[in-house]
Structure 1
Amino acid sequence: MGSLFSLMAGYPNPSAVHFPTTSAFPKRRVNGDRQSTLSLEEFVRMRCPSVLSEFKPAWWLWNGDMQTLYSVLGNFTKVDTVTYARTHLRLKDGGTIGLDFTPVEQESIREDAPIIVVLHGLTGGSYEAYVRGVLYPACKPVEQGGLGYRAVVVNYRGCAGVPLTSPQLYSAGHTDDIRQALMYIAHTYPKAPLVGVGFSLGANVLIRYLGEEGTSSRLLTGCALACPWNLSKNSNALSSTFIGRHVYSRGMGSNLLNLLKKHIPALTGDPSSPTAVAVTKALQLRRPTLQEFDGAITRLLGGSSPPFPFETAEDYYAWGASDKIIGDVKVPLLTVNAGDDPVVQEVPMLAGGNSSTVVVVTPHGGHLGWFESTSFNDVTRWITRPVLEWLRAAVEDLDMRTDPAQLYVDDNGFLCQRDREDLGCKVTHEFKGKVIQGANVKTSGVLQGL
């Protein structure tokens, strides 16, 4: 990816940045004044200077492997502490997703405060330090130096303590679960602008959702961090090196297998069913690579039918890639990858010609790392600043409007969307009076940071 940095000639920092040449978003009206337009490059230069600032990795985390491994092995339990109130949503297909809301006490927050909707990584959840690193400052009260926003983390089926109530899992390409989560959030907070942040697998889901929805998106802007983009190319690149295959790929595959083991009863109730047969076979794997797990399970159970099941993992990768749909995104989008990311090595720098997207590749940062020094031994995540600047500026400066489908409640109590009668959700459990500690709901046996 070193050739990408040549695109930044003339900039004072070594990150590669691609601005669309034909982007123009209306500025928000002030006192009824006539609107003008603002290019994304002007927007970034004026309101998001951290996007163009130099990221300097902590001296002892000098390369992508060190950054990535620290994200996985570091102790973040006392950093950026966030508490959540959880709501379980039952979906029409029988599945369950978990929405973690923060702050828990929301009465003092204005009803039109922006809401950050977060999609976590491969086997993570709201407990992840990279999630809390963004939400802690975003959801602090303004008088304490925060943005005063709300946030909702969408925990995928079976992740972070969410029960598995159907034989379907999740994947990098399946977007209906986030679509239904957004239906509920928009219905619950009708006056609040919704903005999205996705990490790794969640970034891929975010981009696919934005591309599929176009001008009907319920999210008015988004940030996609460490997106895997072309799943096939990045899977092959990951498997092409010893450390890629035997450390990262097997680490992610083992994470998925350990997560699967926690839901065996839900998946094998009928031992003769195709799902139970596939799960039983997958449980015989020992430290599978990511591709081996995807070939055994994700291609079969990673989404609704159609298009699932797929014949091979490669077929699933070809379908689930986000690089082929980035050109259809119609809302302003910031994507950030690291040039030394050992997990993601292929980035569509020109964003498929999309006029709504800014693509940034920092020279360092690893996979979901971006750790910089604050003192000799202490570190913080650089990525938090550009994300918060982008979200705040987009809400305050840009007159962003979309036209999402209307919602209604059907006779069975499901919240539904007019153009997708197959979708629907309703609350099955709210943990009222209970607080989920953001650092303490980690799924045992599953490595953090991925």
Structure 2
Amino acid sequence: MSTIYSGLLRKVEHLEQTRIRLTLPDTDFLDLDWSYSKNPSKKLVIVIHGLEGSSKRAYIKGSAKALSESGFNVCAINLRGCSGTMNNLYRSYHSGATEDLQSVIAYVLQLDQYTSIFLHGFSLGGNLLLKYLGEERVLPNEIKGAVAISVPCQLADSLDQLLQFKNFLYARRFKGNLVEKLKLKKQSFPDLISDLDIDLVKTLKDFDDIYTSRAHGFKDAMDYYSQCSSLQFLNAIKIPTLLINAKNDSFLGEDCYPIAIAKHHKNLFLELPQYGGHVGFYGPDNFTYTERRTLEFLSNIA
């Protein structure tokens, strides 16, 4: 119920978002929606939505509102093809496309306005930021901390859960949205995708076998899950990072709860609340548990 309420019924009002289009190195683009603190701020939170989400989802707007009202500026990324305008290239976004996050961070740094930058991701976006933090790169000194919510740290394990009957409605909704986008891709790239390919997409794994893997250089869906799961990158995280995965999240299997890793990790702080579903956390006055914890965690670092 909490997952459904957050996804379909929750409303967040009185948040102003200003859109800026960022051109990427490969000529594609990302639409970034900015929310600003009432007073000038040198603190910025970059927020990343989940699968088939956008900056307009309640969980993004709720976080942006809470953060901007507390002295942070917010840059909410719309991943490729998720802003309401189809992206230019055949490729799109996926759980491990950290090059796009890298481009946003590079853009923010060249603005030369922020001394403290934080990363905040939900579901797929959480996996993306955890992978980014654990990859072999030197992080900019300005990146101080991160919060990831409802993260499928082991993608194949999460897929197994989504393919179970308990998640039938969610899986059908995700697949339907993705197939509609694939039909639009076919109009622009008829040589790369056929009607037969689209007809073969019966499950989310089929979509990743037929489109995600081919469009982004992976052998197949399982290769994509293997290379892009953030679980294998967690040990290398070097900045304070909060990970909140609810115990009753029906999208996450046992491997998505990195209890053993967090136990001996000086930078990874794992919280496992009993309830919250998948990005379905709630709280009084439309201020959710994870919004409160995010604000507390980042404020202590800032």
1:61-72 mapped onto 2 (5 Å cutoff): 66-72=1-7
Change (3 A) 1:367 1:354: same
Q: Which of 212, 236, 261 pairs up with 2:160?
A: 236
The separation in 2 between residues aligned to 1:359 and 1:214, in whole angstroms, is 23
Q: Which amino acid aligns with 2:298?
A: L
TM-score, structure 1 length as denominator? 0.62
Per the TM alignment, residue 235 of structure 1 is displaced from its structure 2 partner at its CA by 1.3
Q: Report the counterpart of residue 136 of structure 1 in structure 2.
A: 65
Q: Which of 211, 218, 227 pairs up with 1:297?
A: 211
Q: Report the counterpart of residue 8 of structure 2 in structure 1.
A: 73
Q: Is the 8 A contact 1:95 1:168 kept in 2?
A: no
Q: Which amino acid aligns with 2:8?
A: L
Q: Which of 277, 289, 294 pairs up with 1:387?
A: 294
TM-score, structure 2 length as denominator? 0.91
Per the TM alignment, residue 385 of structure 1 is displaced from its structure 2 partner at its CA by 0.5
Q: Is the 8 A contact 2:7 2:58 kept in 1?
A: no
Larger relative contact order (Cα-Cα within 8 Å, sequence gap ≥ 6): 1
Change (3 A) 1:332 1:215: farther
Larger radius of gyration: 1
Q: Is the 8 A contact 1:156 1:162 kept in 2?
A: no
The separation in 1 between residues aligned to 2:20 and 2:47, in whole angstroms, is 15
Q: Which of 124, 131, 144 pairs up with 1:201?
A: 124
The separation in 2 between residues aligned to 1:213 and 1:73, in whole angstroms, is 38
1:367-446 mapped onto 2 (5 Å cutoff): 367-372=278-283, 380-395=287-302
Say whether residues 1:265 and 2:187 are aligned partners: yes
Gaps of 5+ in 1: 1-65, 141-146, 396-450
The separation in 2 between residues aligned to 1:191 and 1:365, in whole angstroms, is 32
Deviation digits for residues 353-393 of structure 1, max 9, x if unmatched? 4321101111111000112455xxxx542211100011111
1:127-276 mapped onto 2 (5 Å cutoff): 127-140=56-69, 147-213=70-136, 215-217=138-140, 219-239=143-163, 241-244=164-167, 246-266=168-188, 268=189, 271-272=190-191, 275-276=192-193
Q: Report the counterpart of residue 233 of structure 2 in structure 1.
A: 325
Per the TM alignment, residue 313 of structure 1 is displaced from its structure 2 partner at its CA by 0.8
The separation in 1 between residues aligned to 2:197 and 2:172, in whole angstroms, is 14
Q: Which amino acid aligns with 1:383?
A: T
Say whether residues 1:122 and 2:39 are aligned partners: no
Q: Report the counterpart of residue 265 of structure 2 in structure 1.
A: 354
The separation in 1 between residues aligned to 2:196 and 2:87, in whole angstroms, is 19
The separation in 2 between residues aligned to 1:213 and 1:114, in whole angstroms, is 25
Per the TM alignment, residue 291 of structure 1 is displaced from its structure 2 partner at its CA by 1.5
Judging by fraction of residues, say which structure has more helix: 2
Q: Is the 8 A contact 1:120 1:198 kept in 2?
A: yes
Q: Which of 24, 27, 30 pairs up with 1:94?
A: 27
Per the TM alignment, residue 176 of structure 1 is displaced from its structure 2 partner at its CA by 0.1
- Identical-pair percentage: 28
Q: Is the 8 A contact 2:157 2:252 kept in 1?
A: no
Gaps of 5+ in 2: none
Q: Which amino acid aligns with 1:186?
A: L
